[in-house]
Structure 1
Amino acid sequence: MNVDKRTAKAAAAHQPAVPGLSMEELEHELRTPLTSIRLLLEIMRDCPDLCEDQRRRFLEVLLVDEARLSRTVERLLGSASLRRLAD
């Protein structure tokens, strides 16, 4: 095993799933936007008489929550790449 792999393996062994986040924080960062997205989509599906302004506001929240979730997933995938490099 070369030095780079050993260094990466040691670093990965001491890091949380996403650097800077505990498992509780990671769970929150994944569940919160998913819950919001699901609820807003259900409201939009079940209330066809929502005014256009309300739909637009819901869509803005959906976009913000999707971006938050995407950032968390990217951090998680980046951390997984570090772990694969260590193996």
Structure 2
Amino acid sequence: MYLNDLEETVVLIAAVFIIIAFIVKTYKDIKETIAEEKQKLYEKNKNEEKVKNLIEYIETKSTLIKSIVKAKKILEKQKKK
């Protein structure tokens, strides 16, 4: 069974349309994936910054507690005298 010229043209146009649709879909998927990865990277950097701030806060608090304990020990020694 052979196709006439009109049928061949229709098949060719359909094939080109399918290929173009596949390329567009692939492009959109890649673009979406890149956007998701950028968002994940942004969130990761944001979380790392929060962790750094928390570590700094904890270290400051620890230093403050140590100085309070040291001051209490000095006061206790002075009271004993």
TM-score band by shorter chain is: 0.3 to 0.5
Give the TM-score normalised by structure 2.
Answer: 0.43
Higher helix share: 2
Bigger radius of gyration: 2
Question: Highest relative contact order (Cα 8 Å, sep 6+), 1 or 2?
Answer: 1
Give the TM-score normalised by structure 1.
Answer: 0.40
